Structure 1
Amino acid sequence: MKAVRRTVTPRLTAGLVGTVVFLTAIAPLATDMYVPAFPQVAGELSTTATQVQLTLTTFFVGMALGQLIGGPVSDQRGRRIPLLAALVVMTAASIGCALAPTIGVMTVARLVQGFAGGWAMVIGRSIIVDLARDAQLVRVLNLIAAVGGLAPIVGPLLGGLILQLSHWRVSFWLVAVLGLAMTLSVLVAVPESLARESRHAGGLRNFVAAGRTVLRNREYVGYLVVAGAAMGALFAYVATSAFVLQTMNGLSPIAYSIDFAANAAGMTVAALVAARLAGRVATRKLILTGQIAALAAGLAMLVGALWLGTPLLLAIVCFFVLMTAQGLMIPNGGALASAAVPEHPGTGSALQGFVQWVAAGTIAPIAGLGGQHTAVPMATLVTAGAAVSMIGLLVLAKPSTGHRRLP
């Protein structure tokens, strides 16, 4: 009698969830541990603030492309092997960053690091969606989001500590070690979650067709602008805050890292408060509140940069208000964008990630065009980002009558 071969469905174990949570820390750790070192990198590699900030741009562009391409490819080829390949490449690119002799080599290595990291992150989320259902899926995704909020707090503190005790290159060696640890964790704890019969041959071709459909939805595009413009404003801050607070105002790397962590904590708390208020306060009102706060912070910073010499207290207060406002704008804008295209959730999510990371990568070097001793470009970009985000909400994303949407 011929035996019947049965496919065993992998289980969502604690080890698997922990590994995917670990993967979500790639982007914030690879960025935020490095940000406090910008002045030192510029000095050692004999380069300008704008060129150092360009390494953020290439990382973010890589992240955007990795997320946009990695999801469809893994739908076609499976999850485990593409994920392992991405982690190996990310580890190698991190070593390249640690050894980079010039800013040009650093820029290319950061592009590869971002691409592989984005690829790994999108596959990690796909594995959770493959295996979790209903309430379990919600719990795991909330856990991943919580880690995403904590990593920007830990990253700069760790980066500042490294600068106090050692050299900025150590932060990249640490990311390489984490990449190796992630690879080993995937080998041990993550099985293939997408059965062969569930894969499809459409790949990128199907993704492009669905993308066209999603981008014809004006409400979705409006919320895409809301979150993308807010992301641009946020990374104008990320790219220049080290120069504003350290070079212009004399903060030490560890003091700067503490302030950066406090601002990230403000953003995390705002996002948690918004989650608690969901269903009781209209999501659009929460977004608008964040936009008004961000616009006020940008205008105050611009006045301070133009006429007051960017005093330390003003910069600290404005940065905190700006970052806290992002906790109301970016997650809620993304949620409403997804709600606007319920028939294409994966495509909508991939396009959101792509647009947000491209915005981050484009804005970062522009914010540093004035050099290390002015905050005018950054303050202008923060103000413009808040204003454009508001246009996305109030003009482009006007909900259609009778359209199903989040409260």
Structure 2
Amino acid sequence: MPSLISAPASPVDRGVSGPVRRQARLTAGLVATVIFLTAIAPLATDMYVPAFPRVAGDLSATATQVQLTLTTFFVGMALGQLIGGPVSDQHGRRRLLIASIVVMTAASIVCALTPSIAVMMAGRFLQGFAGGWAMVIGRAVIVDLARGARLVRILNVIAAVGGIAPIVGPLLGAVILQLSHWRMSFWAVAAMGVAMTLAVLAAVPETLPVEHRHGGGLRAFMTNGRHVLRQRRYIGYVLVSGSAMGAVFAYVATSAFVLQSMNGMSPVAYSADFAANAAGMTIAALIAARLAGRVATRKVIAAGQVAALLAGVAMLAGALWWDTPLPLAILCFAVLMTAQGLIGPNGGALASAEVPEHPGTGSAVLGFVQWTAAGVIAPIAGLGGEHTAVPMALLMITCVALSMVGLLILARPAKTSPAPTGAVG
């Protein structure tokens, strides 16, 4: 990692008084803190997914209502990223990042104390909103300081190392279920929020100098938004990454029911399988990081798309004709999740590379699309109830197909323009 982050960036104000100016650098501590920030979403969902059946029982809720707590979280994430990115382009990164983590921590406490499914949904929305705000600013910090193949490598490393969270999350959630109550998972997220705040205070400087900030207000946001949305290749890569996110959360929302309710897996066995799939995604993202600058990133994405499409077709066949046997479900889920390590981070990195002049707005639109896809797809995946995987399989196929449209049609290379030196697409 040090070889990826050693180069200095533009001088910025670290937020201290006086005329002293320092250079913001992609230090190991800064990257590690951004990795920690990316853990917000998986920790806030994966620690809690194994407890879905118990949450439903304790709060007198249906399976669909419990899945809707994922939806409210994802909607909050989407709106938080849409607003947080442009606002940070106007006011800077550091102070807004700290404030968002504090709010996320408070919302986690609300979820831990919830008396009803309605309060849980509200708390999850606020948790997602603040978490999305923090995640988009963390990503913008990286885009402030890196470009080209280096940006792709760093974002893949962040995605790969950040994959520890979805590995640890369900395992920790299962342990909590065995030793305590599902509410403890939210207390754990709150404690991690405190740790995140301290990490930002220690390791993240202000990376957007005052002279590089954009004017504020709705008009400026609309102007910046129109600029990034006019970039055809940016839109294509956003579709690549957003569709990949949709496929992932179709899995997150339904895998507990497919493997536990339909096939009799225990919560511990399910959590171990969930962690193994997250490990596959992490390894794939690390491989993608090593390939950046050596193999065209578009080819890496295409390989992941083909693998994910085959997994979706196999899952649909199994659901229609063989009642989704356990070995087939495990294999298809493993291939699907591993493929996302090749698709999602690379698609997001190439999207950011298309709009370097508006990193906050570009990250905000990307995050909004990703988490809107997650929020819409999660409840749709559960429409068939607890005893069929057909909706989930159809969503897998649809998401991969949309991702391919984004890569092959919208983000196709311009025929008349030669690739710039160091191009990663």
**TM-score, with normalisation over the residues of structure 2?**
0.86
Q: Is residue 2:41 matched to residue 1:27?
A: yes
The counterpart of 2:60, out of the listed 32, 38, 46, is 46
Q: 2-side partners of 1:147 and 1:271: how far apart?
A: 9
Query: How much has 1:162 moved relative to structure 2?
Result: 1.1
- Per-residue deviation at 1:138? 8.2
Are 1:174 and 2:192 an aligned pair?
no
Which string of whole-angstrom CA distances, capped at 9 and with x for unpartnered residues, describes residues 99-150 of structure 1? 1122111111101001111112223344556678999988865653343222
Q: 2:20 aligns with which of 4, 7, 30?
A: 7
CA contact (8 A) 2:140 2:360 kept: no
> How well do the aligned residues superpose, as a CA RMSD in angstroms?
2.7
Distance 1:389 1:231 in 2: 10
Q: Does residue 152 of the first structure (1) align with residue 166 of the second (2)?
A: yes
Q: Distance in 1 between matches of 2:402 and 2:31?
A: 37
- Paired residues in the alignment total 404
Report the Cα distance in structure 1 between the residues aligned to 2:134 and 2:43, rounded to whole angstroms: 14
Mark the CA change 1:14 to 1:163 in structure 2 (over 3 Å): closer, same or farther.
Answer: same
State the distance in 2 between where 1:368 and 1:150 align.
Answer: 27
1:57 aligns to 2:71 (yes or no): yes
Whether 2:227 is the aligned partner of 1:222: answer no
Corresponding residue for 1:208?
Answer: 222
Deviation at 1:26, TM superposition (A): 1.2
The alignment's TM-score, normalised by the length of structure 1, stands at 0.90
Identify unmatched segments of 5+ residues in structure 2: 1-17
2:177 counterpart of 1:163? yes
Quickly say closer, same or farther: Cα 1:314–1:137, change in 2 above 3 A: closer
Please list the CA deviations of residues 34-82 of structure 1 after superposition, one character each: whole Å capped at 9, or x if unmatched.
1111121122222222211111111112112212211222333343432
Q: Deviations over 1:357-379 (max 9, x none)?
A: 11011100110111112111111
Deviation at 1:16, TM superposition (A): 5.3
| 38 and 189 in structure 1: CA distance in 2 versus 1, 3 angstrom threshold | same
Contact kept in structure 2, 1:94 and 1:109, CA below 8 Å? yes
Distance 1:298 1:20, change over 3 A: closer
Please tell me the residue identity of whatever aligns with 1:332. Answer: N
| Residue identity opposite 2:53 in structure 1 | P
Q: Partner letter of residue 211 of structure 1?
A: G
Kept after mapping to 1: 8 A contact 2:56/2:62: yes
- 2: CA distance between counterparts of 1:17 and 1:340? 22
Q: 1:186 to 1:268 in 2, by over 3 A?
A: closer
Amino acid in the other structure paired with 2:409: V
**Cα distance change on mapping 1:336 and 1:86 into 2, 3 Å:** closer
| Structure 1, gaps ≥5 residues long | none
Name the % identity: 74
Change (3 A) 1:391 1:146: closer
Q: Which residue of 2 aligns with 1:406?
A: 424
Distance 2:132 2:289 in 1: 25
Provide the rounded CA distance (Å) in 1 between the counterparts of 2:159 and 2:182.
Answer: 28
Measured after TM superposition, the shift of residue 178 of structure 1 is: 1.4
Q: Which residue is 1:377 aligned to? A: 391
Separation in structure 1 between the aligned mates of residue 252 and residue 38 of structure 2, nearest angstrom? 19
Q: Distance in 2 between matches of 1:297 and 1:11?
A: 43
